[in-house]
Amino acid sequence: MKRILSLTVGFALLGAGGAYAQGTLDTVQKKGFVQCGVNGGALAGFSAPDSKGVWKGIDVDLCRAVAAAVFGDANKVRYTPLTAQQRFTALQSGEVDVLSRNTTWTITRDTSLGLNFVGVSFYDGQGFMVPRKLNVKSAKQLNGATVCVQPGTTTELNLSDYFRANRMTFKPVVIETLPEVLNAYFSGRCDVFTTDVSGLVSVRGSRAPTPADHVILPEVISKEPLGPAVRHGDDRWFDIVKWSLFAMIEAEEMGLTSQNIDQQASSKDPAVQRFIGATGDFGKMLGLDNRWALNIVKQVGNYGESFDANLKPLGFERGLNQLWNKGGILYAPPIR
Amino acid sequence: MKRSWLYQAALLAAAGLVLWFFAWNTAHNLETRKIASGFGFLWREAGFEIGETGAIAYGAADSYLRALGVGLWNTFRVAAIGVVFATLLGTLIGLARLSPNWLLAKLAGAYVEVIRNVPLLVQLFFWYAIISENLPGPRDALQPWPGVFLSNRGIVFPTPWSTPVLSGFNFVGGVTLTPEFAALLVGLVTYTAAFIGEIVRAGVLSVGRGQVDAAYSIGLARRAALRFVVLPQALRLIVPPLTSQYLNLAKNSSLAVAIGYPDLVSIANTTMNQTGQAIEGIAIIMAVFLTISLSISAFMNWYNRRVALKGARQ
């Protein structure tokens, strides 16, 4: 099936033409929705449909924020579930307008893959999960282990690097879809499952038959700044997605929430006045309505609200993903 | 005559123009999106490990080219072994379905109907689940034979120069048949054998009743009649459709990617994803499968000419 997809993507590149000449914003406005590429493996907390089939998660909230900024309606999004291997070609070929799929920002992806990362929506790092009964306390004890991993990820490369650097060997079992690779791990085909720590916490909380039977080892072996990406060559669209993310972070720093943003019209704070579009012309500069940021916060919420709604219930700590003035490293440039 | 030439030339020119347009448009789109192109990436360090590397020495420090070589070897290995076993099993099934033994014939019939009506991908998941979910972990491995260990890490056989020993997480030494390889091989063989069985049955039934009666009347037993009279004649009808089944088996081996067997498609997909060069990757996959398929076809056509009646129209 994936071969078919890759072929389709190949043909899309063969045939794609004028549609992008007029810019992604025009295309999006004409069709009336944002096509957003998300994690198809149902990664709880990042992007997964709930029991009613509504997509939820912080990656999904970014898609909704872009729709709120562009249309003033956060629901004008359509989702394309993608595997790790499908995601880049889907964005390159124009199948999706935004890729918001827990994707690590690296130099290769930013340059030769033809993507532009708009920023970091989640600071992560790669870790290892093992069954408690193996009694492993450190990743340094994993010599000779069989490791389940998904292909086409930075995870796969970091894994090789880590074992090479520590002069250890391992056997990879590489399976593409998240449900299948988790089956292999939970059935004992592998000793270890590795992915970003966020992913480990998420699957341990939502997929493990008994979460307490699995431990996440203390070593975090890489930097994984996860963020949304757009295609090269469309600066206007790049700006819109970038500032949609920044607006969510800035709103948290300014104390603006979906609950109180409506009462800010009378605020005397000039920064708040600029944010809600009462003064300044920042929306116009983006090619949008001046109430773009207000719509994002009102309909989607600020970064902290999104984190609390999606990740906190699964046991995530804010950690690095706290605001810069509260001990984390989240920092948005000023809206002015 | 002249006019038909003109039409042919016009058609060829039109096809060439379309191809040229696609090539130009692709190059243009890649250029405007600043996506890298060309085959230079093949010599860069791959950086990922491969679970089973077969006869080729490979490590993460080797090039993408070498990684793809490992993938090709894995595809070739499962396809070659699969063709042999599928032919043997398929022939047995086909003959069993014609057997005068009622139970045997019905069982063979049921096998064919069940197997060929379930999608191969589903069967692969089934075999993989059977192996990985039902077998014990390496520390509680079964020993069906002294020195042979059966666990959810596969079957480990001893070799004259190395005996498998449980060390840490897994067995070290010996030769391992992984669950991924086993599931893929069993899936491909059982699936293709169902089709081959029907081809063999059709071939045998095509041999005139008179031939069989003649064989019996000169005193040949059933088995000898089958071997010396029926099968040689049946082969003429069996070989051409059998070729398609071999081609199918080779192509179906690319479903390996779903259960984590590192075949060519799996490695090429990973390569495409790490380098972003989808068009080059797809081109490599297509070229390799075309080469494998044409080689099988060429060999089977040669064999077909050998078994065909002399002077028969091909």
Closest by CA position to B277, among listed B22, B40, B66, B20: B40
For residue B173, is it left (φ>0), alpha (ψ between -120 and 50) or beta?
left
Closest by CA position to A301, among listed A247, A257, A336, A335: A257
Q: What tokens appear for B270 in the block?
A: 């990973």
User: Is the ipTM above a cut-off of 0.90?
Assistant: no
Rounded Cα gap, residues B231 and B212, in angstroms: 11
List, for residues A132-159, the tens digit of each pLDDT value.
999 999 999 999 899 999 887 888 999 9
Place of tokens 């291997």: A85
Q: What percentage of residues in chain A have a pLDDT greater than 90?
A: 74
Closest by CA position to A170, among listed A139, A200, A137: A139
- How close is the nearest chain B Cα to the Cα of A327, in Å? 34
Beta-carbon contacts of residue B119 (< 8 Å; ≥ 6 apart): none
Site from B32, B151, B169, B176 to mutate, A interface, most A CB atoms within 10 angstroms: B169
CB-CB neighbors (< 8 A) of B281 in chain A: 6
pLDDT confidence tier of residue A205, bands split at 50, 70 and 90: confident
Number of H helices, E strands in chain A: 13, 14
Q: Given a cut of 60, is residue A14 above it in pLDDT?
A: no
The closest CB to that of B35, out of A113, A142, A153, belongs to A113
Chain mean position to CA B114 = 20
Rounded Cα gap, residues B50 and B53, in angstroms: 6
Site from A9, A173, A222, A235 to mutate, B interface, most B CB atoms within 10 angstroms: A173
pLDDT confidence tier of residue A5, bands split at 50, 70 and 90: very low
List, for residues A30-67, the tens digit of each pLDDT value.
999 999 999 987 788 999 999 999 999 999 999 999 99
Rounded Cα gap, residues A18 and A37, in angstroms: 22
Instruction: Tell the burial category of B34 from Cβ atoms under 10 Å away from its Cβ (0-12, 13-18, 19+).
Output: middle
Task: Check residue A4 and give its pLDDT.
Answer: 45
Query: How far lies B256's CA from each of A131, B55, B268, B291, in Å?
Result: 27, 19, 12, 19
pLDDT confidence tier of residue B308, bands split at 50, 70 and 90: confident
Task: Check residue B311 and give its pLDDT.
Answer: 62
Rounded Cα gap, residues A65 and A45, in angstroms: 16
What DSSP character marks residue B227? I
Check if the beta carbon of residue A152 is closer than 8 Å to that of residue B268: no
CB-CB neighbors (< 8 A) of B275 in chain A: 108, 112
Q: What percentage of residues in chain B have a pLDDT greater than 70?
A: 98
Q: What tokens appear for B245 in the block?
A: 């089944």
The closest CB to that of A3, out of B132, B153, B265, belongs to B265
Give backbone dihedrals phi and psi of A14, rounded to 5 degrees, phi first. -60, -45
Chain A touched by B252 (CB under 8 Å): no
Rounded Cα gap, residues A67 and A73, in angstroms: 6
Summarize the confidence of residues B186-203 as an average pLDDT. Answer: 96
Beta-carbon contacts of residue B106 (< 8 Å; ≥ 6 apart): none
The lowest-confidence range among A43-57, A85-99, B23-37, B272-286 is B23-37
Give the max Cα distance, chain B. Answer: 79
List, for residues B220-260, the tens digit of each pLDDT value.
998 899 888 988 889 888 998 999 999 999 999 999 988 98
Sort strands A126-131 and A98-99 into parallel, antiparallel or unpaired.
Answer: unpaired
Alpha helices in A257-336 (DSSP H): 270-275, 282-286, 292-299, 303-310
Paired with A230 in beta bridges are: A116
Instruction: Tell the burial category of B8 from Cβ atoms under 10 Å away from its Cβ (0-12, 13-18, 19+).
Output: exposed
Check if the beta carbon of residue A300 is closer than 8 Å to that of residue A68: yes
Check if the beta carbon of residue A185 is closer than 8 Å to that of residue A160: no
